[in-house]
Amino acid sequence: MRTPLELADARPGPAFTVTLDGREIEALPGQTVAAALWSAGITSWRGTRGEDRPRGVFCGIGVCFDCLVTLNDRPNQRACLAPLHPGDAIRTQRGTGHDD
Amino acid sequence: MTDRCPGRDAPHLAVIGAGPAGLAAALAAAARGVRVTLLDAEPEAGGQFYRQPAAALRARRPQALHHQWRTFARLRHGLARHIAAGRVRHAREHHVWFAERAPDGGFTVHALTGPGRGDPAEVRADAVLLATGGHETVLPFPGWTLPGVVTAGGAQAMLKAGLVTSGNTAVVAGTGPLLLPVATGLAAAGVDVRALVESADPGALPRQARALAAQPGKLAEGALYAGQLLRHRVRVLTRHTVVEAHGTERLEAVTVAALDAGGRTRPGTARRIACATLAVGHGMLPHTDLADALGCRLAGPAVHADDEQRTDVPGVWAAGECTGVGGAALSLAEGHIAGRSAAARLLGAPPGPDAWPEAARTRARLRAFSAVLDAVYTPPPGWGERVTDATVVCRCEEVTAGAIRASVRELGAGDVRTVKLLTRAGMGWCQGRMCAPAVAGLAGCAFTPSRRPFARPVPLGVLARAGEDAGGDGGRAEDQGEGDGRAAGAGG
């Protein structure tokens, strides 16, 4: 079956490693946090403040703030906008993202 | 306008947004002797319509996910030429949160940039051209907050920019012309698109024969999508709607059903379709925050603009979806007119009444076409009745439809603002951008754009220091920091 990478004939450089809650996942150069997580088959990475319900990408363009994630100890980053670098530490976020 | 020498001190126009309207405007103004700073949130110009794979993905065939790529190639080439000649500065990854009139009569545009978007950047300009685009509307239904349910435009943006999809099966649903390229794009990328669920009846379109006949390009585009849907064997269900999304931790399936003329679901038509992704959208809303904060009059949900694309605030132009949603081709025409008008007026040569006849004709034709689409692609009738009390409507503050209804029935809220004060609906991170039309609909009020002083969240430290140097030596104006010598505040 055709993949989006094949469709666009993309030939990115070698994948690099980042972590999600300490677990290693691979990311391609140019991918955002959200794109790398989707590639790894992960669709939810936040628990809401009220009911701790799972959330992930919704608007995909930085408007809805549903995909918030903690990136390198910085909470409330929009995963759909945040670029990734080798060694980045992504953490799923629960509640406000601050230790409270 | 301040007195300036020609050349490096030519009048300076800040164009906000580098989608079709902003690009066309920047090119038109720069070609006529105006210095342009083009501010845009993305690393690459193009906006949502011409969104392209991240450069590091090194896509050799980015056009595979696009229509009208040649138009974009021309725009991008023109932009590069103007940048090389020093007529345009492209301020990439600049998230504009506020624009205001400066004490000297010009304007200050405030943006956030840098890693984590925490660094302030200010641009001073003689005039501002708003090409801020719009965002998608999604009306709620049970299960719409499950991971795997994404906006139609969001699924497209993730595909175009990140070359990723969420799972291998999808349903595309809602209403409007955007659903077609989303469904065909996902299918071309290898996703099994199990249904395109459109609540309207596009069969009503041919009755609008005159507006359609004037748009051979649009008809060809529609035929192209229809052919692609057939080729990918995408089942098209018109006058159907998604009744519910199912799953616990993520989306597993949707139930769709046929709608009768009164907007009720037809008994016996409900069917369950397993899917990993539901890409859903119900049209678009203009981004009006910056215009509103500048004091520009809004007309309905959009920024009011005259024949020259001027707002009613002197020195502020607006073009593209922020002045009314009508698609990329219309945005190009409006942007071109706005850029030419701004250049003419900044250079002291007001345009005559028939200064750009071809662009004006294109604009008129495309607006007529867009009005036809608006009449056909309306929100799914009866959507409000299908929203159960337990359904979360405000995604940020987790306010349910039941709470919104109670604020109206039991607490007497008669407008959206009172509903918000009683329930917190619209008070969260997105500031009501996602839920406002739904809250208004459920509360039985007319939708009006919310008034937001700032277009994006701003760190308090940035807010506290904003404008400290306005009218001063411009030491914090980033034009100087970038060393290109085109300091916006130079000589001020």
pLDDT digits (tens, 9 = 90+) for A30-87: 999 999 999 999 999 999 999 999 999 999 999 999 999 999 999 999 999 999 999 9
Does the residue B455 lie in any domain? no
Query: For residue A85, what are the domain limits?
Result: 15-22+30-92
Report d(CA B360, CA B333) in Å as an integer: 7
CA distance A27 to chain B (A): 11
Per-residue pLDDT reduced to its tens digit, B152-193? 999 999 999 999 999 999 999 999 999 999 999 999 999 999
Looking at the fold, whether B357 and B408 belong to one and the same domain comes out as no
- Report which residue type is found at B430: C
Domain match, B186 and B295 both: no
Are B49 and B175 found together in one domain?
A: no
Question: Which DSSP letter does residue B491 get?
Answer: T
Nearest to B156 by CA among B131, B130, B129, B174: B174
Q: How far is B479 from chain A (nearest CA, A)?
A: 25
Q: Cα-flanking dihedrals φ and ψ of residue B34, to 5°?
A: -105, 140
Which domain-ending residue is among B282, B317, B352? B282
Contact between chains at A44 and B250 (C-beta distance less than 8 A): yes
Domain end marker among B229, B247, B282: B282
Q: Which residue of B has its CA nearest to A7?
A: B189
Q: Which residue shows structure tokens 């140019």?
A: A30
Q: Which of B48, B58, B96 is most worth mutating to test chain A (most A CB atoms within 10 A of its CB)?
A: B58
Has residue A2 been placed in a domain?
no
Q: Are the C-beta atoms of residues B130 and B297 closer than 8 Å to each other?
A: no
Whether residues B277 and B290 fall in one domain:
no
The CATH number of the domain where B188 resides is what?
Answer: 3.50.50.60
Domain count along chain B: 3
Is residue A9 domain-resident? Answer: no
**Domain span including residue B176:** 138-282
Q: Are residue B44 and residue B193 in the same domain, yes or no?
A: no
Tell me whether residue A97 is in a domain.
Answer: no
What is the reported pLDDT for B7? 64
Q: Is B81 exposed, middle or buried (0-12, 13-18, 19+ CB in 10 A)?
A: middle
What confidence score (pLDDT) does residue B16 get?
Answer: 98
- What ipTM was predicted for this assembly? 0.97
Residues in chain A closer than 8 A to B250 (CB atoms): 43-44, 54, 56
The answer to whether residues B335 and B251 belong to one domain is no
Which of A31, A48, A60 has its CB closest to that of B150? Answer: A60
Hey, what amino acid is at B346? L
- Spell out the residues 6+ positions from residue B411 whose beta carbon is closer than 8 angstroms to its own: B422
Residues B35 and B129 in one domain: yes
Domain check: are B191 and B276 in the same one? yes
B472/B326 same-domain check: yes
Residue B456 has a pLDDT of 84
Q: With respect to residue A51, please indicate whether it lies within any of the assigned structural domains.
A: yes
Q: Where are the alpha helices (DSSP H) in B399-483?
A: 401-409, 416-423, 436-443, 460-465, 478-481
Report which secondary-structure segment, H or E, holds B171.
strand B169-175
Centre a 10 Å sphere on the Cβ of residue B429 and count the other Cβ atoms it contains: 17
- Name residues whose C-beta falls within 8 Å of residue B314's C-beta, 6 or more positions apart in sequence: none
Q: Point out the residues of chain B with pLDDT beneath 50.
A: 1-6, 470-492
- Where among B260, B282, B304 does a domain terminate? B282
Do B49 and B183 have their domain in common? no
pLDDT number for residue B476 = 39
Q: Determine, yes or no, domain membership for A80.
A: yes
> Which B residues in the span 224-263 are in contact with A, Cβ-Cβ below 8 Å?
249-250
Q: Which two tokens stand for residue B90?
A: 């492209």
Residue A7 within a domain: no
Contact between A8 and B65 using a beta-carbon 8 Å cutoff: yes
d(CA B19, CA B302): 17
- Find residues 165-184 of chain B whose CB sits inside 8 Å of chain A: 165-168
Tell if the CB–CB gap between B151 and A59 is shorter than 8 Å. Answer: yes
B120 shares contact with chain A (CB less than 8 Å): no
Q: What is the pLDDT of residue B261?
A: 86
HSE of B395, CA atoms in CB hemisphere, 13 A: 35
